[in-house]
Amino acid sequence: MQKLLGFLRPYLKYIILGPIFKLLEALFELIVPVVMAKVIDNGIASGDAAYVWKLCGLIVLLGICGLGFALTCQYFASKCAFSFGTDLRSALFRHIHTLSPAEIDRLGSSTLINRITNDVTASQQGVNMAIRLGTRAPFLVIGAIVMTLLIDWQLSLIFLLIAPILGFVLYAVLTRTIPMYTRNQQKLDGITRHTGESLDGVRVIRAFSKQKQETEAFAAQCGELEQSMIAAGRISAILNPLTFLIMNLGIAAVLWFGGLQIDAGRLSQGDLTAFTNYMTQILLAGVQLANLIQILTKAQASSLRVAEVLDTQPSMQQGQASPEISSEAIRMEHVSFTYAGAAHPALEDISFTLQTGQMLGIIGGTGSGKSTLAALIQRNYDATSGTVSVFGRNVREYDTRALNRVIGAAPQKAVLFTGTIEENLRWADANASDASLRNAVEIAQAAEFVDQLQYGLKTHLVQGGRNLSGGQKQRLTIARALVGEPRMLILDDSMSALDYATDAALRQALHDRCKGLTTVVISQRATSLRSADLILVLDDGKCVGQGTHDELLETCDVYREIYESQNA
């Protein structure tokens, strides 16, 4: 929470000025009942019309001034709240991108989306209402009590009696609703996750005709959230009616006992009117205070969720070194890795060495640890044990951004972003020349279809590149990795959607036009790895064979089975 308060420091002047103007509005509001009492006692009672009109003009003037102060406070509150929300949302987004994949996996993308949108908005609203009502409501209550004490301290005892009752009602409602608001946000996380999965897999859902089941599952989640929100709403709904009931009973008591005071000649009609107005102000301020507490309660629950993300620190510590090309490209020594919460290691006791400019092939069954091994080379994760070295230095010593500049990667799932093809290609190097873009497109065998597009590299891609085929997206992701002229290229099964001819042409282009480039190719096709200088054969996280294609055919049963099954 301390971090969130830090985002308010640049707007301290708004936090100070806003309540000041709100206090001025409340002060003018407290003066009105006194003026009304004088109108009744000194003007209406004596039939002095001029006096009545003069004081009525004063009441109008007080109202106009109060309106001006209220609008000024509203401006400062909005300026502070929306600026705070913008800064917090931006900082949260930046912080998320500093986290390692391990933290992203633990938190989950759906809850991060929910926290950066709904939770920040709730926190923002809390700041807005705290500035607007945080001082006004308590000041009006205290000020009205003081004024009633000055008018008649005996009648004021009525409010002093009902105040503890109001406090108990507030406490009972808030202690029940605070946990509910937190659970509601968690249920909303689940709905966000389900929505994202359904939209990403809409084609799969349709292919298996699961629309009805998905709709029913989504409706069930929404129903749970609805019931939970209704339960919280029912408890919160009690607050205002109870507050009105208790305060109106107090006003009725004031009118009853005040009437007796008037009959006894100890209280004037104007004073009773002013007293009743102050009790009404206390009532309205009490309702505002109750609503403010509810808003702040929701804001607190959301702020804690936001603070949890900001307090999450990346598990991987950044080094300071920048990669310098050496004769040795990759070395792994007894490397093992286990995902958080997993019962068994994803990789176990992996050791090999690859020289710069060579090609490493990785093959194995589904879930054998191929992508995990590639992730360790890029330092998306840190090895649980053992040492991973890239270009002669432990990857833990590198600044990750510097390491990423020399390693180009095409992930297993082709990811493209909304924008033009050219904008996507320039991710590795924003200043890349047109010739460099063209060279990368040609090596990746993407020139064939890019040239046929009406706008070429200027063609606009929709979200996720859904207006391209799977093979086209894969070729563009490979081209994007090549634009930055990396010294190492990792192709994580990123040619799976390519036909054999295109696959072969791409590998030949890499060999002919990328001299000195160290290449790591993960593939399910043994034929794609035949020219590799070193092939690792993984099975259930273990390296069951390593060597060249010919060597493995003779020494590794797993590799031989894979090769023969694909060439039968």
Range scoring the smallest mean pLDDT among 19-28, 32-41, 312-321: 32-41
- Is 452 part of any domain? no
3-class DSSP state of 49: helix
Is position 75 within any domain? yes
Q: What is the mean pLDDT of residues 167-194?
A: 76
What is the C-alpha separation between 409 and 98, in angstroms, rounded? 19
For residue 68, give the nearest of 22, 136, 129 by alpha carbon. Answer: 22
Report d(CA 178, CA 183) in Å as an integer: 9
**Residue 84 and residue 195 in one domain:** yes
Share of the chain above pLDDT 90, in %: 8
- Average confidence (pLDDT) over 474-479: 88
- Listed in sequence order, the residues at least 6 apart from 480 whose beta carbon sits closer than 8 Å to its beta carbon are 410, 424, 425, 427, 428, 440
51: domain CATH number is: 1.20.1560.10
Neighbours of 180 (CB within 10 A): 18
What residue has token string 């609203």? Answer: 125
- Chain segment 270-322, per-residue pLDDT in tens: 777 777 777 777 777 777 777 787 788 788 878 888 888 888 888 777 777 77
Residue 78: which of 137, 17, 135, 29 has the closest Cα? 17
**Could you tell me the CATH number of the domain that includes residue 552?**
3.40.50.300
Which residues, at least 6 apart from 440, have a Cβ–Cβ distance to it below 8 Å? 425, 479, 480, 482, 483
Q: 505: helix, coil or strand?
A: helix
Report the C-alpha gap between 477 and 462 in whole angstroms. Answer: 15
Give yes or no: residues 128 and 259 share one domain. Answer: yes
Type and span of the H or E element at 519: strand 518-522
pLDDT tens profile 511-558 = 888 888 899 998 888 888 888 889 999 988 889 889 998 888 888 888
The secondary structure of 171-198 as a DSSP string is HHHHHHHHHHHHHHHHHHHHHHHHHHHH
Q: Which domain holds residue 158?
A: 2-311
Q: Are residues 338 and 213 in the same domain?
A: no
How far apart (Å, rounded) are the C-alpha atoms in residues 479 and 376?
A: 22
Q: Please give the Cα distance from 284 to 287 (Å, whole number).
A: 5
Give the count of domains, the chain: 2
Sign, CA torsion 64/66/72/78: negative
Q: Distance between CA atoms of 212 and 473, rounded to whole angstroms?
A: 30
pLDDT mean across residues, the chain: 82
Interatomic CA distance for residues 197 and 205, integer angstroms: 10
265 and 410 both lie in a single domain:
no
Handedness of CA 221, 227, 232, 233 (dihedral sign): positive
Mean pLDDT, residues 41-53 taken together: 69
Q: What is the structure's pLDDT at 80? A: 92
- Name the least confident of 76-85, 350-359, 393-402: 393-402
Query: Cα 423 from chain centroid?
Result: 25
**pLDDT tens digits, residue range 146-168?**
777 777 777 777 777 777 777 78
| pLDDT at residue 268 greater than cutoff 60 | yes
Query: Considering the domain boundaries, does residue 425 fall inside one?
Result: no
What the block records as the tokens of 366 is 């589904």
Say which residues have a Cβ less than 8 Å from residue 191's Cβ, sequence separation at least 6.
218, 221, 222, 225
pLDDT of 46: 64
pLDDT in tens, 235-259: 777 777 777 787 778 777 777 777 7
Does the pLDDT of residue 43 top 70, yes or no? no
Q: Is residue 427 included in any domain, yes or no?
A: no
What is the C-alpha separation between 235 and 478, in angstroms, rounded?
56
Average pLDDT over residues 17-35: 81
Q: Is residue 188 predicted with pLDDT exceeding 80?
A: no
* Residues 366-417 pLDDT 10s: 888 888 999 899 888 888 899 999 988 888 888 888 888 888 888 888 888 8
Residue type, 518: T
Residue 84: pLDDT band with limits 50, 70, 90: very high
Q: Do 188 and 298 have their domain in common?
A: yes
Q: Is the pLDDT of residue 187 over 70?
A: yes
Question: Is it the case that residue 16 has pLDDT exceeding 60?
Answer: yes
pTM of this structure: 0.71
My answer on whether 126 and 26 are in the same domain is yes
Instruction: Dig out the tokens for 349 from the structure.
Output: 């006791």
